[in-house]
Amino acid sequence: MCCDCENNEDLISLALGDEVPDFTIKTYEPTKGDFGEFTLAKTMEAKRWTILFFYPGDFTFV
């Protein structure tokens, strides 16, 4: 499994049923009008589900 994605040339992407390695990304939080962060481990700690929705770019459709 991919542990250190930034330095791993032979990337193996996740398969269904895999444990997702922890990651953090910077966010914009429209409800606060401010910047923030999303960390998978924090959402798991709060016993919440995560839905990730990737798209090619802002100012396009989803």
Partner 1 sequence: MGADLVTVSVDSIEVHLAWQRHEVGLKNVKYSMGSDQSGAVSQMFGVYDDEAGKCLRGSFIISPEGKLLSSEMNYGDVGRNIDELMRKFKAYLHVSKHPVKACPSKWKDEGDATLEPGAKLVGKVFKEDGTY
30: left (phi over 0), alpha (psi -120 to 50) or beta: alpha
Does position 56 interact with partner 1 (CB under 8 A)? The reply is yes
Question: Which residue shows structure tokens 């990651």?
Answer: 23
Shortest reach from residue 42's CB to partner 1, in Å: 9
Tell me the site size for partner 1, rule CB under 8 A: 43
Does position 10 interact with partner 1 (CB under 8 A)? The reply is no
Positions in the binding site for partner 1 (CB under 8 A): 2, 5-6, 11, 13-23, 25-31, 35-36, 38, 40, 43-44, 47-59, 61-62
